[in-house]
């Protein structure tokens, strides 16, 4: 009995030891990403080149639907906490993210700018109607983590 309880606790803790993030895209792209084919050099956004994940499902769904209509999908990516915390992470305030976004837009660098960290974590600042965080994976190490076997990738 004691062993069964310990095993159940270990399974529960294992489930809780991941951070769950979302990426809105097309169905075909989601299928490709699920296979571990995330490429940070293909994406770009308000904070520059990288692969973007968000912390809210509805934001990813809305973004995907606005871009892809009925062909939209959301990729759920579950990253082990310990692996995420081992990355070099830059956390930006709303003010810092707005300043950086302005610089990137002025330099027409939304598809080329990298900040020099594995992950850039900031509020979404391109709109005033969404209060959510985004995670831009911009390094090879971060991309390798997302594509690796320790991350779970599923299409919702």
Query: Both tokens of residue 52?
Result: 């973007």
Q: What percent of the chain has pLDDT over 70?
A: 88
Q: Which domain holds residue 47?
A: 19-155
Q: Is residue 7 part of a domain?
A: no
Averaged over 122-147, what is the pLDDT? 90
Of the pLDDT bands very low, low, confident and very high (cuts 50, 70, 90), residue 126 is confident
- Asked whether residue 5 carries a pLDDT value surpassing 90, the answer given is no
DSSP 120-143: EEEE--S-SS---EEEEE-SHHHH
The pLDDT assigned to 24 comes to 97
pTM: 0.86
50 inside domain: yes
Total domains in the chain come to 1
| Average pLDDT taken over every residue of the chain | 90
The answer to the question of residue 2 being in a domain is no
Q: How confident is the model at residue 44 (pLDDT cuts 50, 70, 90)?
A: confident
Instruction: Give a yes or no: residue 3 inside a domain.
Output: no
In a domain, 13, yes or no: no
Among 62, 71, 75, which Cα is nearest to 155's? 75
122 pLDDT more than 70: yes
Strand pairing category for 51-54 and 72-80: unpaired
> For residue 8, what pLDDT band results from cuts at 50, 70 and 90?
low
In a domain, 60, yes or no: yes
pLDDT at 46 over 60: yes
What's 74's domain CATH number?
3.90.228
Residue 118 is assigned to a structural domain of this protein:
yes
Give the pLDDT score at 14.
Answer: 55
Mean pLDDT to the nearest integer, 24-43: 96
The stretch 82-96 carries a mean pLDDT of 93
Does 31 map to a domain? yes
Residue with tokens 């209509």, as numbered in its chain:
69
Binning pLDDT at 50, 70 and 90, where does residue 10 land? low
């Amino acid at each position: 009995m004691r062993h069964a309880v310990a095993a159940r606790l270990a399974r529960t803790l294992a489930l809780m030891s991941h951070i769950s993030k979302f990426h809105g895209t097309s169905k075909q792209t989601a299928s490709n990403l699920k296979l571990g084919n995330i490429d940070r050099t293909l994406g770009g956004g308000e904070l520059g080149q990288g692969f973007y994940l968000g912390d809210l499902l509805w934001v990813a769904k809305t973004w995907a639907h606005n871009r892809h209509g009925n062909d939209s999908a959301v990729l759920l990516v579950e990253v082990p906490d310990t692996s995420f915390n081992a990355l070099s992470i830059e956390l930006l305030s709303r003010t810092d993210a707005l300043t950086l976004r302005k610089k990137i837009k002025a330099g027409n660098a939304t598809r080329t700018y990298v900040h020099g960290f594995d992950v850039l974590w900031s509020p979404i600042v391109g709109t005033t109607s969404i209060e959510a965080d985004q995670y831009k994976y911009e390094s090879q190490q971060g991309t390798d983590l997302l594509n690796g076997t320790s991350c779970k990738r599923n299409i919702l």
